[in-house]
Structure 1
Amino acid sequence: MARILVIDDEAPIRENLVRFLALEGHQVLQAVDGRLGLEAIRAHKPDFIFCDVMMPHMDGFEVLAATHADPALRGIPFVFLSASAEPEKLEAALQQGATGYVTKPFNLANLRQLLATQLAHLPPAV
């Protein structure tokens, strides 16, 4: 399956998502803030990133910008997790290159479908 990075400063949300993804058969990495998340992206080059928007040290938009600034990381699907359902946030996320935006609390069936759709567009592993 895929190597997925979950970046979220809210431990209960992060841990539940990590547990869910692991039960789905994925290799899951996690980071507790944006700065550590960016370090994990660079070190592990995950197949997929779930990232909270509001976090200490670097917010999700800063993590996304740094990821897209690096040609080796630019193609990684990047989905925001946020408690904010404001249309402006969703629009800004997609305009800046995010491949999705999921509001908290999230529905696991919808998350599974989103992930399957995103991963289907990745090139096969060599």
Structure 2
Amino acid sequence: MSKENSTNQYNRKKLQDFCGMVYAHDMVSGRWKMLILYKLDKGAMRYTELKKLLPNITERMLTLQLKALEKDGLVKRSVYAEVPVRVEYLLTESALQLSPLWYAMEKWGDDHRRNHNS
């Protein structure tokens, strides 16, 4: 985690303003964000459902990534006034536009892995 006024943050902001690809990459970069979005493409899910689909992610990391995705406008968190309280996560319209990209990336990854490892 770098300081808000560090050279790294300054350069990141400049690149984000300069290039849409860098901006998009920053929104979904990291080990878990793209995978969380990919799993939520199937529809709204509760935290425990997501955790089961991502067994190697820690609870802390899943919470942090969901908060970041919500902050960036890619995931919507819905809280239902029930006992116990029910919370669901779903993709926003903006995130749904990325759906064809992650399926294309999955296909490319499967093909590349198969061809590269043969």
Same fold (TM over 0.5): no
The TM-score with structure 1 as length reference comes to: 0.24
The answer to which structure has the higher helix fraction is 2
The TM-score with structure 2 as length reference comes to: 0.25
